[in-house]
Amino acid sequence: MSQDNLQTTTDESAFVKLLGTEGRVRILDVLLRKPHVTLTRAEIAELAGIDPTTFDRNKEILRQLGLLNIKNQNGRTTEYTINTDSHISKVLGTARSELLEHATEPRNHRGVDQNKIKKAIKSRTDGNAIASEADAQIAKQLARERAY
């Protein structure tokens, strides 16, 4: 039985702990966008659109999960970076990139990629066979949409 199945509540889950608050997600977003940049508390808060006290409430959890590097400069300013050696931060960075990529793909109102539809239409109008199964599926979707 996996560790997830043994936990009594989701509140105890490291996953819920990590993504449990919007402020923490915003902090992670900033740190993942700037993985090699050291930022102060105020800079992170400003970029994340949160109050600096929100950062203060969440930094220890991020540190405990191995996601946050804390650097003191001459005892004056504390700066923070994402822990790029952490497997979790690598996975989160990849997931963030893929989500953004997916969100920016041109799509119509039914979620069909417009570029693939255009390619399928061009392929049919040129008299060429549809080259791949994906194009065939897009052409079927297009035919269903035309029937509406």
67 in the same domain as 19: yes
pLDDT at res. 145 = 53
Task: Write down the pTM of the prediction.
Answer: 0.61
Could you give the number of structural domains in the chain? 2
pLDDT at res. 58 = 93
54 in the same domain as 113: no
60 in the same domain as 36: yes
42 in the same domain as 86: yes
pLDDT in tens for each of the 148 residues of the chain?
Answer: 455 555 555 556 777 777 778 899 999 999 999 988 999 999 999 999 999 999 999 999 999 989 999 988 677 789 999 999 999 889 888 888 888 877 776 655 455 566 666 666 555 544 444 444 555 555 666 555 555 4
pLDDT at res. 20 = 76
Q: Domain containing 78: what range?
A: 3-103
Question: What is the residue whose two structure tokens read 């608050």?
Answer: 21
Domain closes at, from 67, 85, 103? 103
89 in the same domain as 120: no
41 in the same domain as 23: yes
**Residue 55 contacts residue 27 (beta carbons within 8 Å):** yes
112 in the same domain as 90: no
